[in-house]
Chain A
Amino acid sequence: MKRIIFVSLFIFIFNAFQIDIAHAHRVIIFAWIDGDKVYTKSKFSNGKPVKAGKIIVYDPKGQELLTGKTDQAGKFFFKIPRKTALEIVLLASMGHQAKWTLPLNEVLSLSSQQSASNLPDNNSGNETKKTTYNSSGSDPKMEEIQRAMEKAIDKKLKPLKEMIAASQVKTTSLTDVIGGIGYILGIIGIASYFHYRRRQENTKND
Chain B
Amino acid sequence: MHISEGILSGQVLITTSALSAVGFYLGFKKLDYDLIPQTGILAAVFFVASLVHVPLGPGNVHLVLNGIIGLLLGWKAFPAIMVALMLQAILFQFGGITTLGVNTLIMALPAIICYFIFSPMLHKYPFPAAFACGFLSVLLSALLAAGALLFTEGDFFKIASILIMAHIPIMIIEGTITGFLVIFIKKVRPEMLISKPE
Contacts and interface: CB of A to CB of B under 8 A. Distances in A.
Nearest to A20: B53
Contacts of A99: 6
B87 A184 contact: yes
Given A176-B91, A188-B36, A23 B4 contact: no
Nearest to B47: A180
The range of chain B's interface size is: 35 or more
Contact of B51 (A19, A48, A91): A19
Given A180-B87, A181-B47, 20 more contacts: A9-B184, A23-B51, A23-B62, A24-B50, A24-B92, A25-B1, A25-B50, A25-B61, A26-B2, A91-B7, A94-B59, A94-B159, A95-B145, A177-B91, A184-B41, A184-B83, A184-B87, A188-B37, A191-B36, A195-B36
Interface of A: 2, 5, 9, 13-14, 17-21, 23-27, 44, 46, 48, 91, 93-99, 170, 172, 176-177, 179-181, 183-185, 187-188, 191-192, 195
Interface of B: 1-7, 33, 36-37, 40-41, 43-44, 47-48, 50-55, 59-63, 83-84, 87-88, 91-94, 145, 148-149, 159, 162-163, 166, 177, 184, 188
22 contacts: A5-B184, A9-B184, A18-B55, A19-B53, A24-B50, A46-B60, A91-B7, A94-B1, A177-B48, A180-B44, A180-B48, A180-B87, A180-B88, A181-B44, A183-B87, A184-B43, A184-B44, A184-B47, A184-B83, A187-B83, A188-B37, A191-B33
